């Protein structure tokens, strides 16, 4: 199985900050990488697919990039509604594994 390792596990930031979350795959996954946001008590919501493609309706302050087996999710200027948990997921091979999550909290 492909292991997905996110860092950090938690992050404190303020409204207006720029934040970056990293996800590393245990092997090459050729940009088959998705990012999801999960608010407490809610189902996850797709933000980015294929490493850098913004899902329809997702604000442009979210962006994704890739370099080899390392992937990043960047939020350019945090808004209050962005404080949530973020997960990466590889869709290169079954089983489709997720990272352990990054909890973004208000400082």
Partner 1 sequence: QVQMVQSGAEVKKPGASVKVSCEASGYTFTSYEINWVRQATGQGLEWMGWMNPDSGNTGSAQKFQGRVTMTWDTSINTAYMELSSLRSEDTAVYYCVRQGQWLGNYWYFDLWGRGTLVTVSS
Selected from 49, 62, 71, 83, the binder of partner 1 by CB under 8 A is 49
Nearer to partner 1, 19 or 102 (CB): 102
Confirm or reject binding of residue 69 to partner 1 (CB under 8 A).
no
Q: CA-CA-CA-CA torsion for 25, 29, 32, 38, nearest 10 degrees? A: -10
CA distance 88 to 90: 7
Selected from 5, 24, 63, 101, the binder of partner 1 by CB under 8 A is 101
Q: Is residue 49 a contact partner of residue 58, using CB atoms and an 8 Å limit? A: no
Structure token pair of residue 107: 């400082």
Q: Which residues bind partner 1 (CB under 8 A)?
A: 31-32, 34, 36, 42-46, 49-50, 53, 55, 87, 89, 91, 94-101
């Amino acid at each position: 199985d492909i292991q997905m390792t996110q860092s950090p596990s938690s992050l404190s930031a303020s409204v207006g900050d720029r934040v970056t979350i990293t996800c590393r795959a245990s092997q090459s996954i050729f940009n088959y990488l998705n990012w999801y946001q999960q608010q407490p008590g809610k189902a996850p919501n797709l933000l980015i697919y294929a490493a850098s493609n913004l899902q329809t309706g997702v604000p442009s302050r979210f962006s994704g990039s890739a370099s080899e087996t390392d992937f990043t999710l960047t939020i350019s200027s945090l808004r209050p509604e962005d404080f949530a948990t973020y997960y990466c997921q590889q869709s290169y091979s079954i089983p489709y594994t997720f990272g352990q999550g990054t909890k973004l909290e208000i400082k």
